[in-house]
Amino acid sequence: MATERERLLWNRYNALLTTVPGMIDERMRSVTGVSRFQFTLLETIREHPDESVQLAAVARATDSSLSRLSHAIDRLVQLGLVERQPCDDDRRASWAVLTPEGRRVVDEGRDAFERLMHEVLISRIPEEYHDTVITVLTSLLPPDVAVACEVLDSAPVTGSA
């Protein structure tokens, strides 16, 4: 049987999961025309060499199914922000390649995204707790996603404005 404190912890976690993502998506769409997930995909592509990335690698890093990711990429293709290119080595695989318009959306949306990150999360947590919160959040992730995030976190950033 859950204690009152455990129920409180669960309720706060559940409230966070059900309210914050929609609010972030709405704000990101108003500024960039894309959702937070779509913007994160664009930014991930922008930060890779040649502004291209294999879709399977992004799916692992975002703990997204290939079908969800493929749908999101299809939408970005429709918006003219990304192009799909076949992989020379594997016919089943494809690359997502940023278009000039996609680059513009990322470059112009970064400041808004940074402000939103600070407003929603970073400025609400005292700096001395940041490392602890990172550890806690990482511990909540499935192990393969935590590893994929660490790989992305250590990737060199290119294309920064």
Residue appearing with tokens 């690698």? 57
The span from the CA of 29 to the CA of 19, in Å, is: 16
Q: What's the pTM?
A: 0.74
> What is the separation of C-alpha 73 from the centre of its chain, rounded to a whole number of angstroms?
13
Output the average pLDDT for the chain.
86
The predicted-structure confidence for 6-58, as pLDDT tens digits, reads as follows 999 999 999 999 999 898 999 999 989 999 989 988 988 898 888 888 877 77
Full DSSP string of 91-123: TT-EEEEE-HHHHHHHHHHHHHHHHHHHHHTGG
